[in-house]
Structure 1
Amino acid sequence: MPQSKSMLTRTSSSLLRSSPTVRSSIHSLSFSSSLAEADEGEGLKFTSPLLQKDEVKPKPRPGTRKNGSFRFMVGRLRIGSALAVGSPSLYLFSFYSRREEVAASENLLIILIFIAVALFFVSKNKGLILLTLRRLVPLKNRHSRKQIRWFIGEEEEGNVEIPQETKVAREGVELYSNGDFYEGEFYGGKCSGSGVYHYYLASGRYEGNWVEGKYDGHGIESWARGSKYRGQYRQGLRHGFGAYRFYTGDSYAGEWSNGQSHGVGVQRCKDSSCYFGEFKCGAKHGLGSYYFRNGDRYAGEYFGDKIHGFGVYHFASGHCYEGSWHEGCKQGYGMYSFRNGDMRCGEWDNGSLKSPLPPLTDSVIRAVQAAREAAENAIHLRKVDDQVKSAATAASRAATAARVAAVKAVQNQMDGKFCDSL
């Protein structure tokens, strides 16, 4: 699904969405108002764009790795320490060998001691020495070896075992110039498979599936302040089903598209208000039901995060309005019923009754029927709870596999086994 960058617009006579801030439709009681109170929240806003400041994170790019490989520097340090200790032995050997008064047996003893010391340091740093020598070999010689064959299951001619000499580790560690680092699997020089990416500036990490250097599949994003997302990804963005819980206590669970809430979902706030319905590009749009913290509830149509169209609003006091709405206000034909049974019907303008009409007027009846139908459809929208739970479970499994790959990557880095030419 292509990423939608266009903002929601309305007709010139009514709606032009000029700001991504979320406002309440009735009594300023909406889930979005609580999001506006969070300063630099890691979580997303339910208006486009979704990501807030401390969630903006650079994607891993192999081209930005630091000059001078981390594992090569470690090898040079350890080999340098070995030479620093072995040099005095070489000096003593050359010194004593020049002494004419030293007997031949003493020279032989010194030679044996020197050889033993040299072999000891070579055995302790064999992997690093080989890694250093491999770095010094011309590239044409390095790439002349037989390529690794990767496959799943059996080939047409049977399960062919890869020769032992061609097996190399595909888990490794890579550092980036902005302080981020990745631990996990590589393929073709890019992050692919399972791995963990740590954000230095955003103080967070991603654990899960990778495809060609981007999040793809299932995974978990988490930040130091407590926000966390579990679900599906595609091409580096949240896409599919997933659940996001903010450090403020607010949450969203439902469908995602290109990094934004899009489709059917449930939006909950820590003040107990809740919205269940349709979203478009991060905003409430379509059919939905809203339960306000003061006891009011609305079911009907939304447009651009506001009550707009036809719907039914029940007040906590027992009153009820059924009819047409415009940008959160009663607008057009509708009927207002009091809890004592009295009614006020007619044409409304900006929340006030402009032209009173009898309850059985055709225009009033049509508006009330449209409002009740929209409310019924909003209440019976399809549920996505099972899909969200399934995606969250798969994300947890993918995160576990990523952590295992990260442990292997660190071990391979220490042993000098990783080959980043895969």
Structure 2
Amino acid sequence: MDGHGGGAGAGGKLTRTPSSLLRSPTVRAGPGAGAASFHTLLDDPEPDDKKAQAPPPPLASKPGALLRPGPAQSALLLLLLPALALVALLLGGGGGHHLALLAAAAGAALAAAAAVARLRAGGARARASPAHQLAASVRWFIGEGEGGEQQQQRGARKGRRAEVREGVEFYSNGDRYEGEFHGGRCSGSGVYSFFGKGKYEGDWVDGRYDGFGVESWARGSRYRGQYRQGLRHGHGVYRFYSGDCYAGEWAGGQSHGIGAQTCSDGSSYAGEFKGGVKHGLGSYHFRNGDRYAGEYFADKIHGFGVYTFANGHSYEGSWHEGKKQGFGMYSFRNGDERAGEWDSGILKNSMPLSDPAVQRALQAARRASDCAVHLPRVDEQVNKAVMAANRAATAARVAAIKAVQNRIDGKLCFIDV
């Protein structure tokens, strides 16, 4: 960014607003523009019919109900009695003994018929038992787990939700997630690929980026660092495909706190940011060799500071939206000085350097410049965050490989719905 006197900081490269640095690609309703598949990661729908999961009350039965003869048993008894009487008449006096034997045989036949009736009734109840309803309430997922039949039996006995580990999900817009799940959502380590646009590799919590990770885009931009609830938050480095770079603190998906921004044209800024723009104390090295150290407000030089030109001139004093405004002093490289009150970059009222208002402005400008130059650095925190992001991305790629392998091998887990 070029800066000359009153226009310093107003129209250079680092002051462009808005820029991709100020917006987080993860602040969106879906992965990529207009994509709705990310809602799939966030949603955790409840089953529509919870009653189907609860075992129904046991079937009631009355004592002795299955011992009473039914219609078929009564007809058999009526046929047996005349036959017994006829046999008794034919046998004469010795028929009492044979009659007793025949009566015993008839009783055994009735008992057998009752047992058959009980078995048939039990089979009818078994067909209406909760086991058949439970089988209909099992949904299968690709993942890693124990043998399906053994785990299904355990789930049927205890009625608990089985955890799905590595899995793969596809979305209608072409996006894809490969990695770990917990409770039906992306949690742990995983890779989310945006169809034709880029991908995220790293930590997940409850369906959102959370922890450390790496975001990369098709055009070559990349972020490595910390996340919180789907947004860049903490420390990290964002490198743009154009060659620009920001390394420092983040909050809510925007550069916020202390950081350093460099541009491909050689200009750079180190200082404070707020909501994605320069705000607070900072020092700027312009591409033409000019330098400024002092206060910023809403991405513009504003407040008190010292501007040193590449040709050896300088201005110390008050600024307003990138222009000399208020009291200050302009020094030439030959030693000449002009002090007084400035308006929109023009000396409106010349005053002696010893004037108290001019002296207060000079002291405030020099103090702000010194504080801006000596702001604490966050390079160490940023480097640690980058290393942690690289480790998280590696773990995510491993989880993605396991998920794909599970899908190829046909390993399945199930959960109750």
1:214 aligns with 2:208: yes
Residues 288 and 169 (structure 1 numbering): CA distance in 2 closer, same or farther, change over 3 Å?
same
1:60 aligns with: 38
> Structure 2 counterpart of 1:358, which letter?
P
1:90-105 aligned within 5 A? none
TM-superposed deviation, 1:414: 1.7
2:63 aligns with: none
TM-superposed deviation, 1:295: 0.3
1:335 aligns with 2:311: no
User: Could you say what secondary structure the match of 1:404 adopts?
Assistant: helix
Residues 194 and 27 (structure 1 numbering): CA distance in 2 closer, same or farther, change over 3 Å?
closer
**Aligned pair partner of 2:180 in 173, 180, 185:** 185
> Structure 2 counterpart of 1:29, which letter?
G
Residues 235 and 221 (structure 1 numbering): CA distance in 2 closer, same or farther, change over 3 Å?
same
1:2-41 aligned within 5 A? 25-26=8-9, 28-33=11-16
Tell me, in whole angstroms, the C-alpha distance in 2 between the residues paired with 1:342 and 1:55. 58
> Structure 2 counterpart of 1:373, which letter?
R
1:196 aligns with: 191
**Aligned pair partner of 1:138 in 136, 139, 148:** 136
1:302 aligns with 2:296: yes
Work out whether residues 9 and 300 of structure 2, in 8 Å CA contact, stay in contact via their aligned partners in 1.
Answer: no
TM-score (norm 1): 0.67
1:97-116 aligned within 5 A? none
Residues 228 and 315 (structure 1 numbering): CA distance in 2 closer, same or farther, change over 3 Å?
same
Tell me, in whole angstroms, the C-alpha distance in 2 between the residues paired with 1:264 and 1:314. 23
1:387 aligns with: 381
Tell me, in whole angstroms, the C-alpha distance in 1 between the residues paired with 2:362 and 2:215. 45
**CA offsets, 1:178-233, max 9 Å, x none?**
221100000000000000000015x1000000001000000000011110000000
1:373 aligns with 2:371: no
User: How many percent of aligned residue pairs carry the same amino acid?
Assistant: 61
Work out whether residues 184 and 194 of structure 1, in 8 Å CA contact, stay in contact via their aligned partners in 2.
Answer: yes
Residues 145 and 382 (structure 1 numbering): CA distance in 2 closer, same or farther, change over 3 Å?
farther
Residues 56 and 360 (structure 1 numbering): CA distance in 2 closer, same or farther, change over 3 Å?
farther
Residues 61 and 421 (structure 1 numbering): CA distance in 2 closer, same or farther, change over 3 Å?
farther
1:229 aligns with 2:205: no
Residues 252 and 145 (structure 1 numbering): CA distance in 2 closer, same or farther, change over 3 Å?
farther
Tell me, in whole angstroms, the C-alpha distance in 2 between the residues paired with 1:320 and 1:262. 30
Work out whether residues 213 and 389 of structure 2, in 8 Å CA contact, stay in contact via their aligned partners in 1.
Answer: yes
User: Could you say what secondary structure the match of 1:419 adopts?
Assistant: strand
1:361 aligns with: 355
> Structure 1 counterpart of 2:345, which letter?
G
TM-superposed deviation, 1:411: 1.0
TM-score (norm 2): 0.68
1:44 aligns with: 20
2:392 aligns with: 398
Cα RMSD, aligned residues only? 2.8
**CA offsets, 1:284-339, max 9 Å, x none?**
00000000000000000000000000000000000010000000000000000011
Work out whether residues 268 and 274 of structure 1, in 8 Å CA contact, stay in contact via their aligned partners in 2.
Answer: yes
1:258 aligns with: 252
Work out whether residues 181 and 199 of structure 1, in 8 Å CA contact, stay in contact via their aligned partners in 2.
Answer: yes
2:263 aligns with: 269
> Structure 2 counterpart of 1:271, which letter?
D
TM-superposed deviation, 1:176: 1.5
Residues 364 and 381 (structure 1 numbering): CA distance in 2 closer, same or farther, change over 3 Å?
same
Higher relative contact order (CA 8 A, sep 6+): 2
Tell me, in whole angstroms, the C-alpha distance in 1 between the residues paired with 2:190 and 2:160. 21
1:348 aligns with 2:342: yes
Tell me, in whole angstroms, the C-alpha distance in 1 between the residues paired with 2:337 and 2:309. 15
TM-superposed deviation, 1:32: 3.5
1:417 aligns with: 411
TM-superposed deviation, 1:421: 2.9
Gaps of 5+ in 2: 1-6, 44-131, 140-151
Work out whether residues 170 and 177 of structure 2, in 8 Å CA contact, stay in contact via their aligned partners in 1.
Answer: yes
User: Could you say what secondary structure the match of 1:289 adopts?
Assistant: strand
